[in-house]
């Protein structure tokens, strides 16, 4: 497994070694020791899967009382996956990183607790699977505005406006959002 830090060192890209032959392929998607070797001592407690069509943007979601770390991968299709540092005390506060994840490249993105997370579907559809370090708590669910000029996220939009949920269309800009201290 090749593990590469992004422009925000806490956010990591995991690129697995794929063992393939005429029968298909095998790859390892998670190994606890890879996290522990980097000082990340968290347990995964919930696995989630979603499917979305092209042009759908989900996020930027986070929880404050029960922050989730997420290990995100794509089972089919392709997405542009984004992590935004919302830890006020962080030197990278308000900065974002994005990574193209696909069924073809088999990369995964580690989004630590304290980050808002979202993705945009660039293929016809995409199925996403992610491991979480905390359970989902609907009463602790927040969303940052996807197109907040203060964040200036460079989404690779395939159309003028992405399709959003009602919740995401009413999300808060960074300046007005409830954030981590």
Catalytic residues: 61, 130
Element (H, E) at 33: helix 32-36
Distance CA 162, CA 169 (A): 10
* Distance (Å) of CA 124 to CA 82, 98, 111, 129, 154: 19, 20, 25, 17, 20
Backbone angles phi, psi at 81, to 5 degrees: -100, 135
**Nearest residue to 69 via CA among 21, 117, 102:** 117
- Is 158 in a helix, a strand, or coil? coil
């Amino acid at each position: 497994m090749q593990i590469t830090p992004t422009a925000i060192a806490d956010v990591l890209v995991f690129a697995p070694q794929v063992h393939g032959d005429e029968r298909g392929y095998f790859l390892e998607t998670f190994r606890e020791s890879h996290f522990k070797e980097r000082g990340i001592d968290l347990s995964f407690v919930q696995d989630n899967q979603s499917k979305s069509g092209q042009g759908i943007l989900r996020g930027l979601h986070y929880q404050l009382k029960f922050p989730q770390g997420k290990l995100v991968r794509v089972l089919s299709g392709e997405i542009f996956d984004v992590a935004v540092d919302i830890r006020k005390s962080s030197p990278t506060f308000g900065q974002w990183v994005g990574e193209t994840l696909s069924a073809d490249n088999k990369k995964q993105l580690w989004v630590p607790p304290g980050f808002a997370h979202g993705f945009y579907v660039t293929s016809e559809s995409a199925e996403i699977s992610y491991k979480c370090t905390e359970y989902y708590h609907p009463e602790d669910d927040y969303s940052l505005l996807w197109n907040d000029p203060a964040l200036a996220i460079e989404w690779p939009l395939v159309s003028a406006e992405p399709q959003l949920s009602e919740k995401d269309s009413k999300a808060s800009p960074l300046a007005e959002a409830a954030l981590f201290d």
